[in-house]
Amino acid sequence: MRKERINQLNDKDFNFSGKYVLYCMENAQREDYNHALEFAIQIANQYTKPVVVAFFITDKYKYSNQRYYRFMLEGIIKTKNQIQKRGINFVIKKDDFVNGCLSLSKDAFCIVFDKSYLKTQRNWRYKVAEKSDVKIFEVETDVIVPIEVVSKDMVPYAYIYRKKLENLFFEFLYDYQKLEPKIKTEIDLESLNFEEPQNYLDILNIDKSISTVEKYYKGGFDEAENRLKDFIERKLSYYKEFRSDPSKDYQSNLSPYLHFGQISSQKIMVEILKHYDFQDENIQSFYNEAVVWRELARNFCYYNSFYNYYEGIPEWAKKTLEEHLSDKREYIYDIDILENAKTHDIYWNAAQKELLITGKMHNYMRMYWAKKLIEWTDHPQKAFDIACYLNDKYELDGRDPNGYAGISWCFGTHDRPWTERKIFGKIRYMNDKGLERKFDIHKYVKKWITTL
Ligand SMILES: Cc1cc2nc3c(=O)[nH]c(=O)nc-3n(C[C@H](O)[C@H](O)[C@H](O)COP(=O)(O)OP(=O)(O)OC[C@H]3O[C@@H](n4cnc5c(N)ncnc54)[C@H](O)[C@@H]3O)c2cc1C
């Protein structure tokens, strides 16, 4: 494994009387293409120890609700079974990440984390690293090329990130090897062992008013693999032409699986390149989204601590938006009208309904949706906060660097100034005429307005 993936989080030593190498799984909820898991096995083999993988379920996470918890639990139950098949211990505990790791760390030889780019998750890891008495490693398995290898700073534009990735992409693409655990001892640790997501949901104090969406998206690596197969066979050859069209279904729909780490972007690209040439225009287009924009979003969250705030947008964007604060807004909507898709704009309402019903809004509509919030609130800061709130609450793939970077993009991040206009200033504008001109947008509206 490339050493650039591995980072030591504290200067403690191995605990030589420790019984197991502990991998506290969080961001990469999978068995396959999981460098953190393989690294834990590598250390365990080197020091003749078994591995324990631990997963902690807390009901205190952001907007904890049964929609995304169910999806996550469907995935984790399958991942647990896959990992156990390799002779590795897997425990599930109802606890928060920091407490959970610390209580299991007492008998650990060392701890391994998978890397995450969001503040909350990074703080969890730092807290454990500070309080625990054992050596802690963090392993990059969320992106193909580790963020710090690409750049030590925030990269302002996607074209620069693409250029920086050019040589590194193939250097890192095949950097993965599965190892056989030498010691397969069963460790007697308490664990929740339900096989049904509902049993976990029953013991969690989370918001159960938001519908679950298993009719549209079921969690799990197997579901992700089926979608990938279907994408490669049926959609990928049309991706460049149709991916932006909300009336058609040519996106991969892999984002919920990527968000929970049920599939890795590395595996997706490796599988795709078994069937297609890298230079094919559809592959270039997909690479641009799944690697360039996805990894740029992680760069953004890693180097900009205001990634989830209006304050995090570029200075020119703030200046131009604020110069237009006193421009007359034709509509001002409060959160209730927006959340319940009751605005005057049928396209926006359809997008919001797609989100309420399925847990995933089409990419093109996400841009339109967030841009309209700028028009319909009296301050762009309010628009930014509402976008984050609705996105994180209802999207299965919400609470993700892509979401914060995507919302911030609508406010000027990773974009350039455009022609000046009302309310938006120099921020790129989108309107309903564009939707009508480019797509059969009424087909999209019909699908979602009649379903609710
Ligand atoms: C306002 C707004 C909010 C968004 N919120 C989220 C979010 O919460 N979570 C999320 O994963 N994405 C978000 N995006 C990015 C993008 O819309 C989704 O990743 C995409 O629609 C997911 O569908 P898919 O997997 O079918 O996409 P595909 O087109 O099949 O793309 C494959 C993968 O590439 C990555 N990708 C695609 N577009 C982007 C992008 N613009 N930026 C970064 N990565 C991208 C995703 O990981 C995606 O799963 C948001 C974009 C905007 C403009």
| Cα–Cα distance, 249 to 230 (Å, whole number) | 12
Nearest CA to ligand 1 atom 34: 290
Question: Does the CB atom of residue 370 touch ligand 1 within 6 A?
Answer: yes
Task: Tell me the CA–centroid distance for residue 361 and ligand 1, in Å.
Answer: 9
pLDDT at 61: 82
Spatial CB neighbours of 288, under 8 Å, sequence gap ≥ 6: 158, 162
Task: Tell me the CA–centroid distance for residue 403 and ligand 1, in Å.
Answer: 7
Neighbouring C-beta atoms of residue 107, cutoff 10 Å: 16
Nearest CA to ligand 1 atom 2: 406
pLDDT at 451: 55
Instruction: Give percent of the chain above pLDDT 90.
Output: 98
Task: Tell me the CA–centroid distance for residue 117 and ligand 1, in Å.
Answer: 16
Task: Tell me the CA–centroid distance for residue 402 and ligand 1, in Å.
Answer: 6
Task: Tell me the CA–centroid distance for residue 239 and ligand 1, in Å.
Answer: 14
| Cα–Cα distance, 24 to 54 (Å, whole number) | 5
Question: Does the CB atom of residue 393 touch ligand 1 within 6 A?
Answer: no
DSSP string, 235-299: IGGGHHHHTT-TTS--S---HHHHHTTSS-HHHHHHHHHHHS-TTSHHHHHHHIIIIIIHHHHHH
Neighbouring C-beta atoms of residue 196, cutoff 10 Å: 11
Question: Does the CB atom of residue 259 touch ligand 1 within 6 A?
Answer: yes
Question: Does the CB atom of residue 406 touch ligand 1 within 6 A?
Answer: yes
Q: Token digits for 44?
A: 């365990």
Nearest CA to ligand 1 atom 1: 407
Nearest CA to ligand 1 atom 49: 255
* Neighbour-count burial for 202-214, b at 16+ CB within 10 Å, e otherwise: eebebeeebbbbe
CA angle, residues 348, 352, 357, in degrees to nearest 5: 145
CA angle, residues 275, 279, 283, in degrees to nearest 5: 60
Domains and CATH numbers, the chain: 3-142 (3.40.50.620), 143-176+221-303 (1.25.40.80), 310-449 (1.10.579.10)
| Residues 106 and 80: beta-carbon distance below 8 Å | no
User: What is the enclosing helix (H) or strand (E) of 386?
Assistant: helix 380-394
Task: Tell me the CA–centroid distance for residue 13 and ligand 1, in Å.
Answer: 40
pLDDT at 60: 83
| Cα–Cα distance, 21 to 49 (Å, whole number) | 7
Q: What is the chain's percent helix, strand, coil content, to nearest 5?
A: 50, 10, 40
Q: Mind listing the pLDDT tens digit for each residue in 102-127?
A: 999 999 999 999 999 999 999 999 99
Measured over the CA atoms of residue 386, residue 336, residue 369 and residue 430, the dihedral's sign is negative
* Neighbour-count burial for 140-172, b at 16+ CB within 10 Å, e otherwise: bbbbbbbbebbbeebbbebeebbebbeeebeeb
| Cα–Cα distance, 28 to 75 (Å, whole number) | 11
Question: Does the CB atom of residue 404 touch ligand 1 within 6 A?
Answer: no
Which residues of the chain are under the pLDDT cut of 70? 451-452
Question: Does the CB atom of residue 366 touch ligand 1 within 6 A?
Answer: yes
